Structure formats: structure tokens, C-alpha cells
Structure 1
Amino acid sequence: MKTVMKKSESVRTKSQNLVLFFNIRSSIVSEKLVSHHQLADDKIRKKRREAETTSQTDEKRLTVELDMDHLLMLLLLLWSSGLQAEGKNTSTGAQCETSAKADIVLVLDGSTSISPTSFQDVLSFIINIVSAFDIGPDRVQIALVLYSFNVITQWYLNTHQNKQAMLEDVSRIPHLRSLSNTGRALKYILQNIFQPNVGMRADSEKIAVLITESDSSDDVDSPSQALKDAGIEVYTVGFHYASERELRSIASDPDEDHVLIVENSQMLGDIVDILTINLCDSIKSSERVRLVGGSSRCAGALEVKRGEWRPVFGSNWTLTSADVMCKELDCGSAASTGRRNESSNRAAWEISPDCVESGSDLNECLSSGFSSSIIKITCSDSVRLVNGTSLCSGRLEVKSDQSNQSNQWWSSVCEADFDQQDGEVVCRELGCGAPLVLWGALYGEVKAPMWTKEFHCEGNESALLDCRSSGSAGKTCSPGKAVGLTCSERVRLVGGSSRCAGALEVKRGEWRPVFGSNWTLTSADVMCKELDCGSAASTGRRDESSNRAAWEISPDCVESGSALNECLSSGSSSSIIKITCSDSVRLVNGTSLCSGRLEVKSDQSNQSNQWWSSVCEADFDQQDAEVVCRELGCGAPSVLWGALYGEVEAPMLTKEFQCEGNESALLDCRSSGSARNTCSPGKAVGLTCSGRRGAAALICL
């Protein structure tokens, strides 16, 4: 062989001489046969070269002479009673056992360069290949195209309903003779064979196998590229005078899997098993997405297989799109995505993010192109949040690594085994912001197995499975007790008096400040809620001395509820957005930023996690309302009976506030414990502040 395939190591040839085809008992006879075979081969090659300039009459004479050479070989074999013919096929009978669908088109060179004997060898090769597959309309379909100067369809993909009928048709394949227009044949099968009206199925693997002895008389680069661009995997089989360079250019990558070359047609039988195994692997393989060049199988440049593996590029690619790929790979959630810039363009698949995010089949979202800017993705691998409203919220699931199980699976975590530090690690691993641990059932009940370990994170680990853990006694979890986690997106406020005030920065691959026109308090409020910092109290601009790289943000996009990464574009600016959030208080379900049901962030020491609590109107008065409205940057307050802004099932704050009215923040006020752990229906404080400051008025309705 000229090219040895990796997968062929399991199906090694028995020898590189005549012993490949016959079991020779006498070593002396074997040596004589090998010597004669080499001389005969040399003679055949020489006479074929001479044949290119002979007349048609001379060609007939040459055919007789060549047939005499093969006859002499046969006589020599029969001469020794110690010889037992194995036949030309050394296949061990490899069978492709799969229920997967495949549409295979055999493209057979029937030109003059192939002698009648070699053509019969090729037909035997085809019989062996067909015999290896389960043929049928819901399994493997095989079409055959014969070409020389012109192209003939011997049979279509849907012609044969079973293997026996197809094998019977092989003997009827004619030897065309004439020039070898391989390029025309490749173009023909794309336009006429790989078509739904002649049997091609949308949900099948598409494969073309070219079998040829000589160089093409026409261009093969464009038609072979068109096949690969259409998602068709191309194999090439060559012998005698076939050009290795041409076979490699026609075949799909990698060459070691798709290019098979033998010295002569008699050796085709030796690669039946190799080709069968490779074809079967292509048909069976469910892998169509991979990440390469990263630190693990869950990080790196995105590649997709559609006939052949290619890198992926595309505009408007988002973290949401990347998350679909991570889930396809069973790699948890998307932690980050970006671009890897290469030195030059190369063949790649262009991907449509909208198509991917809609749930369409991946193949429908790809088109062929060229690019040097390749998408790269990092997935969380071992943790994910499911059933959430964004990539940074959902029910927590952890991939099992327990040694007593042969297969990994995703398990939920019971809230009794999970605390604030654990949440910080998970949010960091997912590339999200500050965590909030929620009671279960917010993101749906779960019937999956529960994680049987309790995590002991310190909060600074890179991944949850890097944390110490101990066995948990709980094999199950009470209904509604599976951890539901909401992390803020990758947002921070820097340079302010607290984590809830300062210049706005967003991480999208790297941390950058944010700028944008038409930025409003409503937009800022979205950022405050992402940070779990209450409501927006104020927003403005911080002017710097010179431009620097920054993210330009679309306020309309932010306020629409879209994922933050979808609202950003790269730019530069010296006018950076700054925000001050209320931090500890917020108004929810209101008609404006200055109205809603009052909620206060708990700081009670007997709880491991903070949460937002409503306030009972019996614990709240006019002075308290003045402080809240001031803290939110609003005007005069009106304290209303509850239910105006919705009933609430959240816990009630167990403190009574005793503000004097001049404090900067509600939690700066004195407070005393309240005897109430619940509040009568309709008694949660609903507060409306005016848009500008003025005298406070307490209104009891």
C-alpha cells in the first residue's frame, strides 16, 4: 500500500507480496511465484504505457497478451499440488451492524485504463463491500454510478429494497472504456443522486466512495469541494496509476481515514475490511460537535461534523448559542465564548445563532464558507443550571463522579448540603456574578437522583468539584428542597462606596467599562437587580481623560429582558456609565421605579443566606417611608395597605423599624424585634414615592 490507514491496524495485510492472496505450502514455489508476479507486473505496466499510442487493433492484441500473462499465473498456481487457493479476497468478513441510516454512492471508474481483468477485480470488491451492510429503505441504501467520458446511473439509492437484488445487479455493470472524467462524475452525483426524489433521506449519513485506477481528464477540485460543502463525506480508493495527490484532494479530511491506495486491483480484496470498518464508523458515529485545543473536551475551538469536521464561525454568536453546544456535548452550561483568530482563512462552517437557539437540527443551521475567526467555547463541564430564566439561574445539577457507578449522570443537590460559599463557587464556575441561594421548587420539581455529598467550599475555589466534600446521609430530598440558584450576570460596579455603587463594568471574555446613549434609570435598575443590589437610586456618567476599550450597551435590549451578552458590542469611549443601587431595599411589582411592594434584604445572623423579605405595615410608619424613598432617590412617600402590588408568599421581616426620617438608608435606622413571623393577607407594605422630593404624606386607605 502507498497509504496505510490508522484504522487498518486491526485488519493488517498478511504480506506485501503474492502470499497476500494464496496459502503457499512450499516456500520454494512461493519465491518463484513472487518473482514471476513482479516480472509480469512490470511487463503489464510497460505494455499499458505503450498502449496509449497503439491503434485499436493493436489494443486488442495487447489485451490477449495481457490475458496470457494472467493465464500463465493461473497455470503456475495449478502446477503445484501443495498450493491451496485462498482467492483474491482476503477479507475476514467484517460486517457493519447498525440501525443507523446511510445513503452511500459508489462512483466507479469504467474507463479504458482499467483492463478487463482489473474491472472484474473491482466488481468483486464492490460485491464484498455491499455484502457487509444491511440494505433496505430504513437502513443502508447504496447507489452506483459508472463513468468514463460520460456518466451512467447503474442504480439509484431507492432502486433496491434488499441486498440480494443489489448483488445480482453487480454482474450487469458494463465496462464503458474511454477517458476518465472523474470531475464530471462527482458533479453528477451531487446533482442527480444525492436528491430526495431518488431516495436520499434527510436523516441519513451521506457518503460517496470513488474507486479509480487513473488520473482524471478534467478538474476534480471544484466538484469534490461542492460535495464536501453539501455535507457529504467522501472516500477515495485508488490502484495502479491513480494519483495519490488527486485522491487526497478529493477525499474528506483526515486523509488517513478516507484515502486507500493499493498497488494493483488484485490487492483490493485486502482493504475490504478496512473500508467497511471506516464506513461503518462514519455511519454509527453520533458525535457531530467537539471542542478542540482546550484544556479538556469541554473547552476549545468549536468544530462540527457535516460530512467532514470543520471549525465554525458566525456573526452575532452569543453565550446562549454556546450554551446549546455545551448541552449537546453534555458539558454543563456555557461559561464563556469568544473568537480564536488564525493567520489565514480556511474552509469552515458558518453557523446561524438564531437557528441554533430555536432548537432546529444543527445541520440546518450550517452553510459552507471560509474564515480565520473561529468560535471558541468554555463549558462548565461538571455543573449546570436547568429550567432557569437565564444562563445564570436554574435548578443546580452536578455531574456524578462517584466511583461505584460505571456511567456519569446529572444529579440535583439538596439545599441542606449547600451554602453561600458553595453558591459563590458555582456562580464563578459558570462565569456569572454574585449568587443568591433560593428555596427549591422555584425552577421545578425534580425526580432525578440527589447528590450524595455535602460540599464544604471556602468560596475561592475555581470549580465546585474542587471543594472538599463529605458523605451526606440524605439519599433523597424533601419536595421543594433541591437547590435553586440565581447568579447575577457578569456585572460589577467599581470605584464606589460599596459593591452596589460605582462605574459599570461587564465581563464578556474580559472585564470592560460600559458606555451607551439613551441610558436611563430603568436600564440601571436592571443592572442593580442583576447584582442583587435592590433598586437603582441614581445613574450618570464618569468622564475619563481618554478613550479606552469598552462595551457599548443597548438600553432597549437590556430593558427587554434579553441576556446581557446579547446587548453588548465592542467599542471605545471615555464616558463611562456609573450607577448607585439602593443595596438593601427595593420596590417590586410596581408601575415605576418609585412604586411597588417593599422588600428588605435580610441580614439576620441566624440565617446562612440572605434573602429578600416583605415588611408588615404594622412595623412601618411615615418616617420609615421617608428614608426608603430617599434611599431610592425618589420623592415624597405614601404608605398603602398591601395587595395593591400583589400578594406575597415570601417570608416577612421580623423587625420593627424606628427611623427618625433623616437617615440615608433603612438599615441605618434603629430597629427592634417584631413578634410577627407572618402578616395578615393584604398587610405587606406597598409604597409609592413621588418622582421628586417634597413633603411626606402618610395615606392610610
Structure 2
Amino acid sequence: MLLNFNFFLFSTVDAQIRLIGPNLCSGRVEIFHNGVWGTVCDDSWDMNDAAVVCRQMGCGSAQSAPPAAYFGAGTGQIWLDDVLCTGSESDLSQCTHNGFGINNCGHGEDASAICTRPNNPTGETLKMLIGPNLCSGRVEVLHNGVWGTVCDDSWDMDDAAVVCRQMGCGSAQSAPPLAYFGAGTGQVWLDDVLCKGNESDLSQCTHNGYGISNCGHGEDAGVICAADGEIRLIGPNVCSGRVEVLHNGVWGTVCDNGWDMNDAAVVCRQMGCGAAQSAPPVAYFGAGTGQIWLSYVLCTGSESDLSQCTYDGYGISNCGHGEDASVICAGEKVF
């Protein structure tokens, strides 16, 4: 299933690989070398290679090894080509390859991996959110080895609360119906889901039974969860605006002290909005209200998340909202 949206990314710092895709365990394979992230060419890329990546990421077994930039083309370095793993290695660097930076590929050949998710004792009700980040998106469940969606009939905040809890994403902010995060494909596994809101797993809620549905994918259910460290842009579109971060369930702004293009680059990347075009200070998109969460943010520009940058600490600031920081990104995010 080819997904048409820009992706949020996650990384395993110790392992020095990451998957750029719709969730922690699916995406374009990138590897860290000499302080720079780069992609892997799909020449000879197969399930043995994907199995090593999935194991290294702590993401269970490999489901597929998509070639040809399935999760979008990367940029910059292509670090590895002709990777040949036996499948038993614990680290991609243990597999044979041509050597770092030696390749005859373009980014249209970037390799990917789709893994099963961890910590799923039954194999039946594992959740995945297809959207802008790990904690917001279209709800999908795994049944009989096949991913499928959930119909929005009776879908409400109680159902969303269970999904957010199960995903480790805090409280539910909304339960968008009508394929808010795009229509899925294939199976619609669940319909008429009725949760009380206190269940620990969506499988504990009542529903019609797997595959029993009168829905089309235009009715796919979504959730938006309140994950600490989440960011949003308040402005003319989803990729330009005043930067706000979520902390302890409360949205707050970022002071423009020290705010520059490196910081903006991280925000744009985290939002799936391409490169940063500018980092406007002094409440360029209007002054926020309430909390000012961050001040003196110092990013190198390579971080995948604003929370990985240095800053004074949440709520430590000598700023007013006339100093709220903003970004303008080049991309337009499409779910």
C-alpha cells in the first residue's frame, strides 16, 4: 500500500538506524555515518536485509522489503548499496556491502522495510496510526496477518481514548471520522466499535466481529492523541505558522531567543513539511496566549524532534508572547 503523505520520523540513537515512515516500525531505511544520515540503495535489497533492520529497531519480524523509494525519496547521502544480509545479523553494519558511500544509485532506489510491531502477545489487535506522527492518524489493526481499517460507525472519544492509551500516546484529543487521515485500502476489519473508554486494548471493546462491516474506506476512523512533545503550527496552513509544543497536556509557544534556521529545519522535518524557508521571530504569525514552554532553543539542525535540541527547560523563559517563534516550511503536508 503506497501512502500519500509526508512522514514523521523516529530513530534508535544507539543502533544508528531509523525508519522514515508512517510509524516507528515502517519506513525508508536510513543509517548514520560520520555524523550524517543517509539512505540505503535497493540493489539486492530483500527480506533478509529487512529482517535485520526490523530486529535492530526492536520491531519484530519483517513483513516486506519495499524497493524504489516506497516511502518517498530521501535526500543527501546514499550510504549503502548491494547490502547482503543472511538475516541473522543483529546490526545492518554486520552485513556485507560495497562500503559507505560507494553506490551507483539515485534516491528513487531508496530501500524500505515494513515490520510487525513489538509487544503484541496475540498477533491479532496490534494498532498502527497512519498519519503525521506516531500519535495521530488513521487507525489500523492487524488480524490474521493482514492490516485493515476501522469503520467510523459509532466511533467516538471513548474509542479514541482506548487507542491512544494502547499506543502509549496519552489522552485522546479527537476522534475524526470520514477518513480524515486519508482512505485506507483492502480490509475494513472492525465496525460499530463500542468502548467504555477504560479498556486497555481495542480488542476488549465490543464490535460486530472481524470483517463484518457495511462500510467503505471513506468512513475510516482516526484518532488524534495528546503526546507530550508534539508540535503544531498555528498559521495560514499546516506547514507555516507560530510554533507550539504540547507539554503536560497544555499547548504553549516557543520564545524566539536564539531561534534560527537550524531550529526551523527541525520543526519542518518533524511536521513532515520539507525544508525550512525562514524562521520568523517576534510573533510573525500572531501572539499566542498562555504558556511559553521553551526558550533559547539550540538545534544543530539534524535532530528529528524539537525535544532533542537543547533549551532552558519547560516553562523557563523571560519572554512575552510578542517574541513567539515561527517557521515557514517549503512543503505542504498531505495525509
- TM-score > 0.5, shorter chain as reference: no
TM normalised by structure 1 equals 0.23
Greater helix share, structure number: 1
Report which of the two structures shows the higher radius of gyration computed on alpha carbons.
1
Higher relative contact order (CA 8 A, sep 6+): 2
TM normalised by structure 2 equals 0.43
